[in-house]
Structure formats: structure tokens, C-alpha cells
Amino acid sequence: MVGMEGYAWGLEKAGLYDGFVEGFLAWLQNLLGNVITFNALYNKIVEATRAGNEREMMYWYGRLCTLLINFEPIPEDQLEFDSATPSPVTELLAGLGTAYGALKIPEK
């Protein structure tokens, strides 16, 4: 049953992403976000190994594997831009930038 449940879980996780790149980016973000946790788990694994506590060592390895394979998709931005009608602020900033650029023309 472990194989069937793992396969079903994998299919469900793969359905959350639009493609490999999106899934890879979410996995990478997960890795970067858990760097401190990974370091702490590594230290706990080393301590358990030195103490000869195999049960605790396997627990921490399991925790590490769970953090590596169980990650959530990156939430999409909820911002919507209407490029057909620029805002007055955008037009003002564009005008100021153009005026500044015109004033900084080097003389020969």
C-alpha cells in the first residue's frame, strides 16, 4: 500500500504545478526558506549518531526527507495591470523622467 499511496500523493502534488519549471522553482524556494532548519536537523543527526541512538537518528532523517519532498506552490501575485489606460501617476513620472533626460543632454 505504501507504493500506491506514494503514487497517489505524487500525482496530487504534480497536479498543483503547471509544469516542471514551476515545480522546480517552488522546490528551490522551499530549500532556500529552510536553510536554517536543515542545518539544525544536520546537527541533531550528528548528535544522535555520536550517541549511538539509531532510532532518533532515523527520526531526524525522516524529518529531513519530509522537508525536502513536501513543499507548496509559490502563490501568484494578485496584482492586475491595465496597460491600455496608464494611471496619472505613471504619466507624471514618465514626463518628469523625460524632462530630466532632456536637461542632461551633454553639450559639445
Q: pLDDT tens across 21-75, in order? A: 888 988 999 999 899 999 999 999 999 999 999 999 999 999 999 999 988 888 8
Predicted confidence at residue 3, as pLDDT, reads 92
Cell numbers linked to 4: 500506491
Could you give the C-alpha distances from 38 to 12, 23, 29, 41, 66, in angstroms and in order?
25, 20, 14, 5, 11
Give 7 or 82, the one with higher predicted confidence.
Answer: 7
**Residue written as grid cell 501617476:** 89
Give 46 or 101, the one with higher predicted confidence.
Answer: 46
Give the CA dihedral 10, 33, 20, 3, nearest 10 degrees.
-20
Residues 25/71, Cβ–Cβ less than 8 Å: no
d(C-alpha 93, C-alpha 41), whole Å: 50
Predicted confidence at residue 87, as pLDDT, reads 66
Cell numbers linked to 33: 526558506
Task: State the pTM of this model.
Answer: 0.60
